[in-house]
Amino acid sequence: MPLALFDIKTPLDPLRDQLRAAALGVLEDGQYILGPNVGAFESEFADYLGVNHAIGVANGTDALTIALRAMGVGPGDDVVVPSFSYYASAEAIPPTGARPVFCDVDPETFCVTADTVRAALTPRTKVVIAVHLFGNVAPVAEIEALGIPVLEDAAQAAGSTVAGRKAGALGTAATFSFFPSKNLGGFGDGGAVVTNDAEIADRVRVLRFHGSSDQVTYDEVGYNSRLDEMQAALLRVTLPELDGWAAGRRAAGRHYEDVGLGELVALPQPTPDSAPAWHLYVIRHPLADPLAEALGRVGIGAKAYYRTPIHRQPAMLPYAHGISLPATDEVAAAHLAIPMNPALSRIDAIEVVSAIGGVSA
């Protein structure tokens, strides 16, 4: 049986009627920008995470830029960010006027650590972006203990927890993406900034609306970056499903472990006390590309997302002079995402593992 890398459609099937009703409600109501569903989703998402404020924005990349500016980042500042991440984690920094400073990751967890961050600190470091990569949870408290505020990039970690607390509720602020393939995916672009800090929340609200708090006076140059009313209405239908989907992603990870995947490849290691809602299930193998091709030939989706790490991307070379990130280069070469979705069964896992076993043998 073919098995796709991910499946965003099946989990939505039981929700079709509710989604249709929510979409029609917005069409009939006629308020398309910052209407009642945006406000309601913001408070429901804040409650879900256990934070005081959630502010909807246009996408997860804007969420990072706006959150950084709301945290006071500007020209002359440095922001530490892992090179092994989705490109947007770093791309969001230069528009604030600050400089990205790339740090390494732990190859077993794919996340930054207090040590990799410490090695990248400069006298100008204003914020550390801790990416919860693939749904694993970066050690936010240990990084904060270095004395620098943490912005969590939780785009891939909706539904992940650490010691019972939600990823996105750990740092000074956090950002989410509702891109359709994310753990809490919308039906177009969308994102959010969340925080317990009322001042940061107010600044985010102003920045997302052209730098204006009253829509008449423009105090600073901001953005036109709002979560659509339509997306908010649809996300209100899917948010109550998130924990169930996260449990399914965890169970899928356990199926892979139980059926012996760890004997064939290096498995992703959850960080201490974390329960990752695996956004992608990413293994490591010395021959990752031939393995992906072989899996593809038998209809099993497999993909390397970040073969070229961010510090080696052409647009980022001005920020990457003379840096050496050995673990990043190692995982960039060896990582491979294999099928993951909230409904992935033990039988699916057996199929993937026997296919990998067939190739490795």
Residues in contact with ligand PLP by the rule CB under 6 A: 59-61, 85-86, 88-89, 131, 153, 155-156, 177, 179, 189, 191
Q: Is 231 helix (H, G, I), strand (E, B) or coil?
A: helix
Asked if 274 contacts 253 with a C-beta cutoff of 8 angstroms, the reply is no
The crossing angle, in degrees rounded to 10, of helices 16-29 and 229-238 is 150
Nearer to ligand PLP by Cβ, of 58 and 291: the residue is 58
Half-sphere exposure (Cβ direction) of 328: Cα atoms closer than 13 Å: 23
CA distance 186 to 158: 13
Asked if 22 contacts 140 with a C-beta cutoff of 8 angstroms, the reply is no
Nearer to ligand PLP by Cβ, of 179 and 359: the residue is 179
Asked if 179 contacts 59 with a C-beta cutoff of 8 angstroms, the reply is yes
Q: Is 175 helix (H, G, I), strand (E, B) or coil?
A: strand
Task: State how far Cα 32 lies from the chain centre.
Answer: 26
Task: Report, in Å, the least distance between residue 89 CB and ligand PLP.
Answer: 5
Nearer to ligand PLP by Cβ, of 68 and 356: the residue is 68
Task: Report, in Å, the least distance between residue 213 CB and ligand PLP.
Answer: 25
Task: Report, in Å, the least distance between residue 223 CB and ligand PLP.
Answer: 13
How many helices and strands, by DSSP H and E, does the chain display?
12, 12
Tokens 């393995």, residue? Answer: 291
Task: Report, in Å, the least distance between residue 60 CB and ligand PLP.
Answer: 2
Tokens 């989703």, residue? Answer: 41
Widest pairwise Cα distance in the chain: 68
- φ and ψ at residue 315, rounded to 5 degrees: -65, -20
Spatial strand order of the sheet with 165-166 comes to: 165-166, 161-162, 274-275
Nearer to ligand PLP by Cβ, of 46 and 131: the residue is 131
Nearer to ligand PLP by Cβ, of 130 and 288: the residue is 130
Task: Report, in Å, the least distance between residue 191 CB and ligand PLP.
Answer: 5
Nearer to ligand PLP by Cβ, of 86 and 256: the residue is 86
Beta bridge partners of 3: 300
Nearer to ligand PLP by Cβ, of 86 and 209: the residue is 86
Task: Report, in Å, the least distance between residue 348 CB and ligand PLP.
Answer: 24
Q: Is 288 helix (H, G, I), strand (E, B) or coil?
A: helix
Radius of gyration of the chain (CA): 20
Nearer to ligand PLP by Cβ, of 234 and 261: the residue is 234
Task: Report, in Å, the least distance between residue 194 CB and ligand PLP.
Answer: 14
Task: Report, in Å, the least distance between residue 317 CB and ligand PLP.
Answer: 20
How many other CB atoms sit within 10 Å of the CB of residue 266? 17
